[in-house]
Amino acid sequence: MSSIKGKGHCLTCPIRHLSIFGELPVERLEQIQHFQPAVIQYQTGETIYHQGAQAQSAYTLRKGMVKLTKSLANGRTQIIRVLGAGELFGFDGFADENYSHSATPLSTIEICRLPFADLASLKKQYIEIDSAMTQRWLHYLRAAENQMLALGVMKAPERLASFLINWYNSGLVTQEGVALPLARGEIGELLGLTLETVSRFMSEWKRQGYLSETKGYLKLLDHSALLKAACSE
């Protein structure tokens, strides 16, 4: 069950360098000490906000991972993005009064809740925040374009191999590998593939020694061989 852990302040936030406040000088951060977003913890399976709900706040992910999903009228869902620490989400509410997707934790997470009224005021006062939010819009737009390209041009194994390699290269590599909290069905949902297709290729690549999986962690053992195998399918 979600719980409010207290108030946060950007001056002492451990992921400030990843957030939209990262470029704001310390002296300016001290000027906005009155701005104290609520720090909230959510558990796996809870919902931060639902598609179609009235948008009142944006959120910065402090810890964990979140998936964004869109639902169709027939009940089918599609994962459109997976977020990591420091990412801003829900701010599409600036352009519309309702959220255009749902946000769900993939693990126990912590977020900062940023009311739109406060965020709009800060955008007007500080060009660094306005610029950072614009850059986030552009980043998400490019990611959406790349996703469309992958879905339209790449074959199924190429899509899957590219996703696994990008995920691994952008994650924190530990002795166990890189955390991959997505189930195979969720990976398929994100890539426009069936559960059977994802399972078949990942099982084959594990047998061939290109990757391994253990308890929610992924290890890529041979990047080049994985890409070559995917492209030759």
pLDDT tens for each residue of the chain, 233 residues long: 766 665 666 777 788 888 888 888 887 777 776 777 889 999 998 999 999 999 999 999 999 999 999 988 888 888 999 999 889 999 877 777 889 999 999 989 999 998 888 888 888 888 988 898 889 889 888 888 888 877 778 899 999 999 999 899 888 788 889 999 999 999 999 998 999 999 999 999 999 999 999 888 999 999 889 988 888 76
For residue 171, the model assigns a pLDDT of 81
pLDDT score for 153: 82
pLDDT at res. 197: 96
Identify the pLDDT of residue 233.
Answer: 66
Specify whether the CB–CB gap between 64 and 82 falls below 8 A.
no
Contact 59, 105 (CB under 8 A): no
Helix (H, G, I), strand (E, B) or coil at 25: coil
DSSP alpha helices (H): ranges in 107-233?
116-125, 127-153, 156-170, 184-191, 195-207, 223-232
Q: What is the pLDDT of residue 51?
A: 94
Its pTM stands at: 0.84
Residue type for 218, please?
L
Q: What is the pLDDT of residue 103?
A: 96
- Which pLDDT score is estimated for 174? 87
